[in-house]
Amino acid sequence: MNVCDDNYRLLCARSILENLDALIAQIPGVRRGDQPDRVHDMRVATRRLRASLKLCRACLGKDGRRWRNGSAT
């Protein structure tokens, strides 16, 4: 079985998008600075997104490595 079959790709896409949405949702609260818990929540969302990228790296190829390292443009 190929590790990057369609079902695994779909799982990876859903996981990455879910974690990205969670990260983006924290931005307004962090910018306002009125809720210190938002910074913690953003850090948690960042760790989860990085974990998703790591688990799905076999399907992402070089782009996944660039995104995970923060060098994607």
Q: What is the pLDDT of residues 43-73, one digit of tens each?
A: 999 999 999 988 888 887 766 666 656 665 5
- Number of structural domains found in the chain: 1
pLDDT at 25 over 80: yes
- Which residues form the domain of 34? 6-69
pTM: 0.76
The pLDDT of residue 68 is: 59
Provide the 10 A C-beta neighbour count for residue 16: 19
pLDDT at 40 over 90: yes
CB neighbour list of residue 20: distance below 8 Å, 6 or more residues apart = 49
**Distance of alpha carbon 13 from alpha carbon 4, whole angstroms:** 12
Is 15 a domain residue? yes
Is 58 a domain residue? yes
Is 55 a domain residue? yes
Is 1 a domain residue? no
